[in-house]
Amino acid sequence: MKGLIILANGFEDTEAIMTIDILRRAKLSLTVASAGDDVHVKSQSGLYVKAETTLKDVNDQHYDFLVLPGGRAVKDILEHSKKVLSLIDKFVLAGKMVAAICAAPLLLGRRGYFKDQVFTCFPGCEVDIKEGKYKRKKGVIRSGKFITARAMGYTAQFAYEIVEYLLGKEARVKVEKNCNGEL
């Protein structure tokens, strides 16, 4: 399994970095791509991160799943990027898993992908999503090929759910124990 995570200036630090860490601990191959023209990306808190590549150099056919962290980047950059929106369309239409946390479910919901799905997102973002069943009190939801999470505080559970979806319950338990110092 090979995944792609997209970062843009203003991404939420924990949602991206913790997810990357947990997925790699589970031995999932993951490429970190910048949505911009430069591999250097500035997080919401001002931390600079060096992505491994830029989105323009990514071949979506080489990936099995997509991860979208939230933060200001969603409304400031990602929802206006034809490349990002086209990439989301390709993953969804190919039946590949897409995981989105915090504000990032907007990128899926505004495109109508939550029709007949249950989802969660950062409170207030749901008003811009016209289809689907919003569950405000749920931290993480798996519905069809989508995994959504409400906010940064649910990042570990979000990443564990991705691991379980892709590798099974045993892999989830193993990485969860590893992260909790139980192995």
Q: Tokens for 2? A: 């090979």
pLDDT digits over 34-91, tens only? 999 999 999 999 999 999 999 999 999 999 999 999 999 999 999 999 999 999 999 9
Q: Identify the pLDDT of residue 130.
A: 84
pLDDT band at 152 (very low <50, low <70, confident <90, very high): very high
Domains and CATH numbers, the chain: 2-179 (3.40.50.880)
Kindly state the average pLDDT of the residues 159-178.
98
In this model, does residue 111 exceed pLDDT 80?
A: yes
Q: Tokens for 32? A: 């970190």
Q: Identify the pLDDT of residue 116.
A: 95
- DSSP for residue 71: B
Residue-wise DSSP of 89-143 = HHHHHTT-EEEEETTTHHHHHTTTTTTT-EE--STTGGGG--SSEE-TT-SEEEE
Long-range Cβ pairs for the range 112-115 (8 Å, 24+): 113/146, 114/143, 114/146
CA 161 from centroid of its chain's CA atoms: 11
pLDDT digits over 113-141, tens only? 999 999 999 999 999 898 999 999 999 99
